[in-house]
Amino acid sequence: MEEQFKRIKIMLVDDQRALAEEIKSVLETDPQLTVVHIAGDGAAAVSMIRMHQPDVVLMDVRMPTMDGVIATQRIKTENPEVQVLILTTFDDSDYILNAINYGASGYLLKDTSAAALIDAVKNAYEGDTVLPAKIARKITDAAKNVAVNKEYKLKKAFSFSEREVEIAMMMYEGFTNRQISSALKISEGTTRNYISTIYIKTNSENRAGAISAIKEVL
Domain that holds residue 55: 8-130
Please state the rounded mean pLDDT for residues 40-52: 94
**What's this model's pTM, rounded to 2 decimal places?**
0.62
Please state the rounded mean pLDDT for residues 55-65: 91
Computed from CA positions of residues 87, 88, 93, 98, in that sequence, does the dihedral angle turn out positive or negative?
negative
Q: What is the pLDDT of residues 113-153, one digit of tens each?
A: 999 999 999 999 998 888 777 777 766 776 666 556 778 88
Tell whether 211 and 162 lie within a shared domain.
Answer: yes
Tell whether 101 and 168 lie within a shared domain.
Answer: no
pLDDT at position 55 is 96
What residues pair up with 83 in beta bridges, in sequence order?
56
Model confidence at 101, pLDDT cuts 50, 70, 90, reads confident
Q: In terms of C-beta density within 10 A (0-12 exposed, 13-18 middle, 19 or more buried), how is residue 24 classed?
A: middle
Report the CATH number that the domain containing residue 55 is assigned in CATH.
Answer: 3.40.50.2300
CB 82 within 8 A of CB 49: yes
Residue of higher predicted confidence among 181 and 145: 181
Residue 177 has pLDDT above 60, yes or no: yes
User: How many domains, the chain?
Assistant: 2
Residue 23 has pLDDT above 70, yes or no: yes
Tell whether 144 and 192 lie within a shared domain.
Answer: yes
Please state the rounded mean pLDDT for residues 64-93: 87
